[in-house]
Amino acid sequence: MRNRFFILFGWLLIIASCQSPNETQGEKEEQTKPQKVSIAEIEIGIKAYIEKETETGDGYFQVNDERGNFNLKLVRVHTEYLSNLGPKKYFACVDLADEKGDVYDVDFFMEGEPGNMRVTETSLHKLNGKPFYTWKQVVDKTWRRVPVETASTDLLGVVEGQDEFDFHYYSKLPKIDGSAKMWIPIAKSDSFQNVEVVKMNLPGKHQMLKEQDFDNTILYLELGPEDSGKEIDITYQVARKEKGPYDAFDPVDKKYLQPNLLMPIGGRFEEIAKEAIKGKENDNKLVQARALYDYIIDNMRYMKFGKFGRGDSNYACDSKTGNCTEFHSFFISLARSIDIPARFSIGASIPSDRDEGGIDGYHCWAEFYADGKWWPVDISEGNKYTALATYYFGRHPANRIEFSQGRDLKVSPGPSGGPINFMAYPIMEINGEPAFPQTVFSFNRKSE
């Protein structure tokens, strides 16, 4: 989980209207029921607040915390979360960056009516993806901070054993002024996850494509102007098991030792890898892979800033920053450069300590081959939580769904831009040019 226990970020709209003498009690109760504002209205509201404070703060949003005084600028609003903490009390979180480019996840606590809300507390939750604390809901349904060092694994995002949930993949099409094409990954069942599509609402013409190199299934749509603004809604029922090292029954495909467009091998990657395993040259590949894992944890910072999110090993090597795609691409380039087969997968991580709501985008991970087994790793999560660094070397928790595997994916028909880098969000082209539909992931966990 991303260490928040809030469903979506925003405010609750309280409808207050005048009551005529003839109104019934039922009508009055109906009028006073709380109603949620739209995500767009929520985002506008919090941005307006930050903009107003920035204007009075010499061009910066100023946060005073026990760690110091910070001058920050808006990076993004977490529109996937919304929480009502009690009568006229609310929670929100926002990413803001300082002058050096460090990104802080800031928690806001608010009181009052929409349009007349005041911030009662501002708290720095994370620095470059690493939390200072996490949250736990107590018996009276309120939330309290828990130091990361004393938090249980479920508070740090790990569901062990197995997990079951419905996963919702939603996308809204932009305006289409010609012909459009779209590609969406379709999750499939394997030894660790059982997925069943229980709903698929699709506009336009569509068919399923088979991507051969990694055996991915991809939904392909052909769309026109009449599909502008329409919605794609796919719901899965998922039962997933915690993933540990597992036997490789088939010979390892040579593609797991070869470069990809954004994951080169050799050259400086070989030099870095050999330096990382110095003194372990005669040890087995498992020991060497752990040395690469530790090197990345020790030398990279989790930062959604700059040109992150493409899984570019060169960018990761130069900046030593990025999100999960950079962490795992860098690892794969290093591993393959010293003859350790490694591969890439992507999907979404399901929050572990709440049972429904939004999901903070995609998540990716990797596996490497050693001693006759494939070993799962999640280096970006191990980087965030030192206490779980050992767990994530050889384990993936049950609370996730895998969409696709591999890089440089080729399908027919395929995008005009060439092979698909990786598949999590939809790939869309309008008249041959890239387009970006609004896409939201959410979930509902199965009740006991």
Q: What is the pLDDT of residue 81?
A: 62
**Residue partners of 302: CB distance under 8 A and separation at least 6:** 128, 129, 130, 321, 322, 323, 327, 380, 383, 384
Q: What is the pLDDT of residue 90?
A: 74
DSSP 110: E
Q: What is the pLDDT of residue 85?
A: 64
Q: Closest Cα to residue 368, out of 265, 215, 252?
A: 252
- Residues 8-60 have pLDDT tens digits of 333 322 222 223 334 444 444 444 445 544 556 667 777 788 888 899 888 89
State the Cα–Cα distance between residues 304 and 378, nearest whole angstrom.
17
360: amino acid identity, one letter = D
What is the CA angle 309-72-316, rounded to 5? 25
217: three-class secondary structure by DSSP: strand
Q: What is the pLDDT of residue 8?
A: 32
Q: Residue 301's Cα: distance from chain center in Å?
A: 16
For the chain, which residues score pLDDT lower than 70?
Answer: 1-42, 79-88, 113-117, 137, 139-143, 447-448
Determine how many CB atoms are found less than 10 A away from the CB of residue 253. 13
Q: What is the pLDDT of residue 353?
A: 79
State the Cα–Cα distance between residues 327 and 332, nearest whole angstrom.
9
- Residues 346-367 have pLDDT tens digits of 999 999 978 888 898 999 999 9
Judge whether 345 and 331 are in contact, CB under 8 Å.
Answer: no
Judge whether 410 and 419 are in contact, CB under 8 Å.
Answer: yes
Most distant CA pair in the chain: distance in Å? 88
C-alpha distance across the termini of the chain, in Å:
19
Both tokens of residue 417?
Answer: 């831009």
Q: What is the pLDDT of residue 11?
A: 32
Q: What is the pLDDT of residue 120?
A: 81
Q: Which bin fits 255, alpha (ψ -120 to 50), beta or left (φ > 0)?
A: alpha
Q: What is the pLDDT of residue 94?
A: 85
Please report the domains of the chain, with CATH numbers, ordered by start residue. 12-150 (no CATH), 163-448 (3.10.620.30)
Judge whether 304 and 103 are in contact, CB under 8 Å.
Answer: yes
Determine how many CB atoms are found less than 10 A away from the CB of residue 287. 12
Judge whether 125 and 102 are in contact, CB under 8 Å.
Answer: no
Q: What is the pLDDT of residue 47?
A: 79
Name the residue with tokens 């003194």: 279
Both tokens of residue 416?
Answer: 């005009």
- Per-residue CA distances from 62 to 57, 68, 110, 123 (Å): 6, 11, 17, 12
What are the φ and ψ backbone dihedral angles of 46, each rounded to 5 degrees? -70, -35
